Copies of this chain bind each other. A is one copy, B any other.
Amino acid sequence: MRSVLSLAASALALTLVAAPALAQDAATIERAETVRDAAMERNIALDYVTQLTTRFGPRPAGSKSEQNAAAWAADYMRAQGFRNVRIEEFPLVGWERGEESASIVGARPQRLVVAALGHSPGTNGVIEAPVARFDSLEDLNAAPAGSLAGKIAYIDAGQMVRMQNGSGYGPLSRIRAAGPAAAAAKGAVAFIMRSAGSDEHRMPHTGTTRYVEGRVPVPAFALSAPDADQVSRLIGMDETVTLRLSSTAHTYETVSQNVIGEIVGRSRPEEVIVLGSHMDSWDLGTGAIDDGAGGAITLAAAKAIAESGRRPARTIRVVLYGSEEVAQPTDTGNGGGAYLRGVGAALEKHVIAGESDFGADRVYALGLPPGAQTSDFARAAAQVLYPIGVLPSPDPELHGGVDIGPLAGAGVPVFGLNQDGSRYFDLHHTADDTLDKIDPAQLNQNVAAWAGLVWLIADSDVDFRAMRPAEAAAH
Contacts and interface: CB of A to CB of B under 8 A. Distances in A.
Tell which of A56, A201, A435 has the most Cβ of chain B within 10 Å.
A201
A58 B108 contact: no
Tell which of A50, A55, A58 has the most Cβ of chain B within 10 Å.
A55
A233 B50 contact: yes
A175 interface: no
A435 B203 contact: no
A230 interface: yes
A374 interface: no
A435 B113 CA distance: 15
A229 B58 CA distance: 15
A104 interface: yes
A422 interface: no
A434 B233 contact: no
B286 A230 contact: yes
Given A54-B234, A110-B58, A202 B203 contact: yes
Contacts of A167: none
A5 to B, nearest CB: 55
Given A201-B201, A285-B202, A229 B55 contact: no
A203 B199 CA distance: 14
Contacts of A113: 431
Given A68-B108, A237-B54, A201 B203 contact: yes
A233 B436 contact: no
Contact of A56 (B50, B108, B201): B108
A382 to B, nearest CB: 36
Nearest to A68: B108
A286 B110 CA distance: 9
Contact of A434 (B50, B109, B226, B435): B226
Interface string A225-252: 1100110011001010000000000000
A193 to B, nearest CB: 18
B434 A202 contact: yes
Nearest to A426: B201
A104 B55 CA distance: 11
Nearest to A199: B201
A152 to B, nearest CB: 18
A104 B65 CA distance: 13
Contacts of A201: 201, 203, 432
A436 B57 contact: no
A73 to B, nearest CB: 14
Contacts of A55: 108, 234, 237, 239
A416 to B, nearest CB: 29
B108 A65 contact: yes
Interface string A273-305: 000000000000110000000000000000000
A436 B108 contact: no
A401 to B, nearest CB: 26
Contacts of A56: 108, 110
A51 B104 CA distance: 16
Interface string A54-70: 11111000000100100
A437 B108 contact: no
Interface string A430-464: 11101111000000000000000000000000000
A307 interface: no
A75 interface: no
Given A54-B234, A55-B237, A203-B201, A229 B435 contact: yes
A429 to B, nearest CB: 13
A229 B434 contact: yes
5 tightest CB-CB pairs across the interface, nearest first? A57-B110, A226-B434, A202-B431, A54-B233, A200-B436
15 contacts: A54-B230, A55-B108, A56-B108, A57-B230, A58-B110, A201-B432, A202-B203, A202-B432, A202-B434, A225-B436, A226-B432, A226-B435, A230-B286, A230-B434, A233-B435
